[in-house]
Amino acid sequence: MKTLIIIATYNERDNIVPLLNDIFMTVPDVDVLVIDDSSPDKTYELVEELQADKYPKQLFLLKRAGKLGLGTAYVAGFNWGLERNYEVIMHMDADFSHNPKYIPQFLEEIKTKDLIIGSRYVDGGGVVNWGLIRKCISRGGSLYSRAILGLKIRDLTGGFKCFRRNVLETIGINELKSTGYSFQVETTYKSYLNGFKIKEIPIIFEDRRVGQSKMSSTIFLEALLMIIKLRFITKIKK
């Protein structure tokens, strides 16, 4: 299976090199696309160096002009991957919250399913190093989205996911309504509405090792409203 892993970065200078080395050690056959929004800390320079030194054939960099948001970064990555005929496209955070050790399980499960979600809220999954407020936001966000959208999936907001290309070709990635926190909910919801086989696998999510958190109350409120919009305006695309 020709596999692409997309990693969006914004000021991940301390994480990106160890993360990429870890990924290529765990799954030597994958390709990785880093999408960097001209990080002020020049994360992209480290990617360029690593590409030249160690992974010229497997590591790719898409550098965008400025901070355009995680959702649009993933859409750009999806389009990049689809154009280049990848069969399986994954994405994960750059801050080590998503441990690369789980990637082989995703790649095994995707052989018989359409979308695999790394889930904090199924048996065996969990979160470490998060404060109570952050836990409540995440857990509450998933329960809220689940109730409004009528889904059985437990982790709707996580960003450790693996798609078969036909899912991305079907759900209308260029017409998604969310750019922020609800982006993850929307891609899963549309996959569900289109009848794709979805499986959650347990992951232990660790708080970012280093760097600044970008979560804010505006991002959160925007997401709550967006879930209601999704419920009423999303059409099945087929």
Ligand X SMILES: Nc1nc2c(ncn2[C@@H]2O[C@H](COP(=O)(O)OP(=O)(O)OP(=O)(O)O)[C@@H](O)[C@H]2O)c(=O)[nH]1
Total count of residues recorded for the chain: 238
Owner of token pair 């979308």: 115
Q: Whole-number minimum distance, CB 232 to ligand X, in Å? A: 26
Question: Which residue, 129 or 166, is less far from ligand X as judged by CB?
Answer: 129
Backbone angles phi, psi at 10, to 5 degrees: -145, 105
* Number of residues located near ligand X, criterion CB under 6 A: 20
Q: Which 97-136 positions form the footprint of Mg ion (CB under 5 A)?
A: 97
Q: Which of 85, 174, 213, 217 binds ligand X (CB under 6 A)?
A: 213
Is residue 95 near Mg ion by the rule CB under 5 A?
A: yes
Q: To the nearest whole angstrom, how small is the minimum distance from the Cβ of residue 160 to Mg ion?
A: 11
82 binds, among Mg ion, ligand X, none (CB under 5 to 8 A by kind): none
32 lies in the binding site for ligand X (CB under 6 A): no
Q: What span, in angstroms and rounded, lies between the C-alpha atoms of 171 and 68?
A: 21
Q: Is 185 helix (H, G, I), strand (E, B) or coil?
A: helix
Site for Mg ion in 188-217 (CB under 5 A): 208
Residue 155's binding partner among Mg ion, ligand X, none (Cβ under 5 to 8 angstroms by kind) is none
Quick one: 225 exposed, middle or buried, by C-beta within 10 A (0-12, 13-18, 19+)?
exposed
Residue 206 is inside which H or E element, if any?
strand 204-206
